[in-house]
Chains A and B, each alone.
Chain A
């Protein structure tokens, strides 16, 4: 047993760290760190720099642009990326639809889509949830009816993150209304420019436009946009959700926020001194850091175990990462709120928070919105209650 990194791994860490901090523009990293909204172009700029280096999709199969890294290297890469406040390569592209097409898509789909996914030439969004189908995703109702060499899609998706920027949406649709729940679902790729699609913004609790409702009214989709086989979509969705879950602890992100809180605490006056002189505050920061340390090692254990598994199935222990990781992300935002104190009330003091990118920025403006917004992490990606159910069943056998 050895919990330390090898010299090669340490060298790798240095390499990626230096790259992130020198090649990704400082203004983009500052926005991520300060909890300000990113413009579409910021995601694109950052991801293209990574892609040019060959690092936008290191976890993909080698033939599609992946890197021959060990799971530990991948882990180091993502941690350093988050700690440098580099935007994660677009989740929907790089961690969701890309791996699905690489694993189950036709060779034509791979040729057509994968390079554009990696380079963020096409922006993808995730059309799974519906008003009536959240935790119970398999109860989804959006229908696709075959008509010659097209499907006609009718229905509604919701909570579609950044759908307002999207060129494409990957959807779960019902193709066999008579089959039992999971059995009649297919996985379709739909061009957002198709006639019959309407996008309606939903303003989230932090006052920003982050999610959308998407309506499909007799939208025609070529049959060649079906992924894999008809009525097998649920299998591909499970594969995708398992990928989503392993990356969701976001330990690097929490560490980055803690580092920032410590910096800010030194310049935030309190009494005769600053907030960092306040031992109660310090001990609350320390307490979250200890939890994070434990989770980091837990994550390494899951990563190491995953590397040894041959069946490729997700480890139910990844639900532990999701539960604790989301709770700790939320804990860091509560510390930020505490740091802002009475000034946390200050709303749009320096411009409208609704994606006003030119506004002069005061960190206290974003403390409360960041706290509000981060409530989502225990809801999406399989709610924490659902994760408890998974563990109770799959690990405890209850």
Chain B
């Protein structure tokens, strides 16, 4: 067993950590980017391209970096700590996985270079409002016509859709609304006729959109992967997403715990630092325990995200997400509590961490959802 990073991975970590500290070391820097017209900084996005981070998940044959879940983990921890507003998760982790796992060589050649140089961003338009966390619940349809497909339906909370050039859309080509079989993925330009976006800010300072597809015509080569068989790809995309979010959450919890411990040492009430009160010491220790438990499951998630056996993989991802969610909730709540009033304001970085951790909890399965998955499977064998 080896829990250490390789020398290349350590180098990657140093690079990303330094960039994050320089670019998003303060709340003012984060907020300045959020307030930009795109909801993030175009310049910072291109810096991520220059650093090679946008190439991270693509194979070397495709001109990428050939990174796996561990490289993504290293990047996401740092991006989490910096609450980096650029749509790395939406475009590279979710969208990039769809391309990596399902695109034909023709599609790869067409898309990957512009994904790597930052000129094209993707959004993953899969979730629908009624579906909650059921990955197979797809009511959007794609009807085959001569030379292509026509898409109809609605997608909800599509992360960073308004600044993506291309959407990866799931739609039903066969079967009933909640069948695993019969789902397909399509590449749909965001400005295609019949696509309309209702964009809004999310509660973590990011952006998302609800998307209506009405009579959207796409050519045959917009089909991504095998018709009717996208569920397996979607599950793999989500497994990677859960691993990435786990890493982001750990990065945030680590930073939030550090802020809190620092505050306990400096804030004085009753003439002493509040960190001298034993109840607060113990609470901070419980926060550390929660972080370490989360970190272990973060590593487990990275190890299992690309496991061959889909059953074992998905069970592992559910287990990881439960632990991450629980730790995130505890750490977030206690951090606010231990800060008192200061923890309740948007002028304080900790409050932004709180909000992002809450949203991570609610994405791709909350605690009850994943707990049920594990329970339905009879637990972890």
Residues of A within 8 A of B (CB): 129, 132, 134-136, 139, 158-159, 202-205, 207, 211, 269-272, 280-281, 284, 337-338, 340-349, 368-369, 371-372, 375-376, 378-380, 383-385, 388
Q: Given A342-B127, A345-B208, A375-B333, decide whether A202 and B200 contact each other with a Cβ distance below 8 A.
A: no
Inter-chain contacts of A129 with B (CB < 8 A): 341
Q: Which of A135, A346, A372 contacts B157 (CB 8 A)?
A: A346
The smallest beta-carbon distance between B249 and chain A, in angstroms, is 15
Inter-chain contacts of A369 with B (CB < 8 A): 203
Q: Would A341 and B277 count as touching, CB distance under 8 A? A: no
- The reply on B362 being an interface residue by CB < 8 A is yes
Q: Would A135 and B358 count as touching, CB distance under 8 A? A: no
Q: Which of A340, A345, A380, A383 contacts B363 (CB 8 A)?
A: A345
Q: Which residue of A lies closest to B129 (CB)?
A: A343
Known A271-B137, A341-B132, A345-B157; 19 more pairs at CB < 8 Å: A135-B270, A135-B340, A136-B270, A202-B347, A203-B347, A205-B351, A205-B354, A211-B341, A342-B362, A344-B203, A346-B156, A346-B202, A347-B203, A348-B201, A349-B200, A379-B337, A379-B341, A385-B280, A388-B279
Inter-chain contacts of A340 with B (CB < 8 A): 362
Inter-chain contacts of B268 with A (CB < 8 A): 132
Inter-chain contacts of A270 with B (CB < 8 A): 132
Inter-chain contacts of A132 with B (CB < 8 A): 268
Q: Would A371 and B366 count as touching, CB distance under 8 A? A: no
Q: Which 7 A-B pairs have the closest CB atoms?
A: A136-B269, A347-B201, A349-B200, A203-B346, A205-B351, A345-B202, A368-B203
- In the complex, which residues 262-276 of chain B have their Cβ closer than 8 Å to any Cβ of chain A? 268-271
- The reply on B220 being an interface residue by CB < 8 A is no
CA distance A398 to B93 in the complex (A): 54
Q: Given A205-B351, A344-B359, A371-B358, decide whether A134 and B340 contact each other with a Cβ distance below 8 A.
A: yes
Could you give 20 example pairs across A and B, Cβ below 8 Å? A132-B268, A139-B270, A205-B346, A211-B345, A338-B366, A338-B368, A341-B362, A343-B129, A343-B157, A344-B358, A345-B202, A345-B203, A345-B204, A345-B362, A346-B203, A348-B200, A348-B201, A375-B343, A376-B344, A388-B279
The smallest beta-carbon distance between B348 and chain A, in angstroms, is 9
Q: Which of A139, A337, A368 contacts B269 (CB 8 A)?
A: A139
CA distance A283 to B202 in the complex (A): 30
The smallest beta-carbon distance between A272 and chain B, in angstroms, is 8
Q: Which of B341, B347, B358 contacts A159 (CB 8 A)?
A: B341
Inter-chain contacts of A284 with B (CB < 8 A): 368
Inter-chain contacts of B18 with A (CB < 8 A): none
Q: Would B210 and A349 count as touching, CB distance under 8 A? A: yes
Most buried by B among A132, A340, A372: A372
Q: Would B344 and A379 count as touching, CB distance under 8 A? A: yes
CA distance A160 to B134 in the complex (A): 44
The smallest beta-carbon distance between A278 and chain B, in angstroms, is 8
Inter-chain contacts of B358 with A (CB < 8 A): 337, 344, 368, 371-372
- The reply on B143 being an interface residue by CB < 8 A is no
- The reply on B326 being an interface residue by CB < 8 A is no
Q: Would A342 and B277 count as touching, CB distance under 8 A? A: no
Inter-chain contacts of B366 with A (CB < 8 A): 338, 341
- The reply on B336 being an interface residue by CB < 8 A is yes
Q: Would A345 and B279 count as touching, CB distance under 8 A? A: no
Inter-chain contacts of A380 with B (CB < 8 A): 341
Inter-chain contacts of B178 with A (CB < 8 A): 271-272
Inter-chain contacts of B198 with A (CB < 8 A): 349
Q: Which of B133, B341, B354 contacts A341 (CB 8 A)?
A: B133
The smallest beta-carbon distance between B333 and chain A, in angstroms, is 7
Q: Which residue of A lies closest to B156 (CB)?
A: A343
CA distance A11 to B371 in the complex (A): 47
Q: Would B134 and A337 count as touching, CB distance under 8 A? A: no
Q: Which residue of B lies closest to A138 (CB)?
A: B270
Inter-chain contacts of B132 with A (CB < 8 A): 269-271, 341-342
Inter-chain contacts of A346 with B (CB < 8 A): 156-157, 200, 202-203, 208, 210
Q: Given A281-B368, A342-B157, decide whether A207 and B346 contact each other with a Cβ distance below 8 A.
A: yes
Interface string of B263-300 (1 = CB under 8 A from A): 00000111100000101100000000000000000000
CA distance A340 to B366 in the complex (A): 11
Inter-chain contacts of A376 with B (CB < 8 A): 344
CA distance A134 to B267 in the complex (A): 11
Inter-chain contacts of B368 with A (CB < 8 A): 280-281, 284, 338
CA distance A211 to B344 in the complex (A): 10
- The reply on B355 being an interface residue by CB < 8 A is yes
Inter-chain contacts of B193 with A (CB < 8 A): none
CA distance A20 to B137 in the complex (A): 43
The smallest beta-carbon distance between B322 and chain A, in angstroms, is 13
The smallest beta-carbon distance between B90 and chain A, in angstroms, is 12
CA distance A159 to B345 in the complex (A): 10
Q: Given A338-B368, A344-B362, A345-B359, decide whether A134 and B346 contact each other with a Cβ distance below 8 A.
A: no
CA distance A269 to B129 in the complex (A): 9
CA distance A369 to B203 in the complex (A): 8
CA distance A301 to B285 in the complex (A): 36
Q: Which residue of A lies closest to B335 (CB)?
A: A375
Q: Which of A139, A204, A341, A385 contacts B345 (CB 8 A)?
A: A204
- The reply on B35 being an interface residue by CB < 8 A is no
The smallest beta-carbon distance between A270 and chain B, in angstroms, is 6
Q: Would A205 and B340 count as touching, CB distance under 8 A? A: no
CA distance A385 to B275 in the complex (A): 13
